[in-house]
A = this chain, B = another copy of it.
């Protein structure tokens, strides 16, 4: 079980690293830039969570598998695209949704182990799931996609709330994890499929 969790965590790292590498490619960065953006996207959210929670050592500080997996995913992406294989957008979005589901539930769980209030645990789940992508977009000089796209962080807040609720109802740990991950995954896939969006808040600039 622990082993399975570790492997899916690495899978999430790989997926987010690919999205980082693709964004770096859209900005015509050099190979080092691709590597950095991939690593920041994959590990940034978890690092921010651990630093704010004072949860040391940060995962990739003690175990260099994380950096290795993120780097390999980035290099693999560049090679794949160079061989003119188009990126399968839909497949990437589904993988990304899986990574989001995993990171969100994992982040919420880490926060709960520090016995923080519920709202803090939800925020920590969201930070783990989305902050890496926000850092990617900020460094690449874009308004973060998650604020503009279909229901994204909402999926992750929903999953986080479901996880906390199930744990408090004394649901077995692996059941709560599974259901909460499904909630994130299905919400996100539904949002992609039917292009669901939250209402926008428009404000004219009167400065």
A31 contacts B117, C-beta separation under 8 Å: no
Interface size on A, residues (CB 8 A): 66
Tell me the interface secondary structure of chain A in the complex: helix
Contact with B along A113-130 (1 / 0, CB 8 A): 010111110010000000
Q: Please state the number of chain copies in the assembly.
A: 3
| Interface flag for A67 (CB, 8 Å) | yes
CA distance A141 to B30 in the complex (A): 19
| Interface flag for A88 (CB, 8 Å) | no
CA distance A143 to B153 in the complex (A): 25
Q: List residues of A whose CB falls within 8 A of some B CB.
A: 21-22, 24-34, 36-37, 39, 47, 51-54, 56-58, 60-64, 67-68, 78, 81, 89, 114, 116-120, 123, 134, 138-144, 146-148, 152-154, 157, 197-206
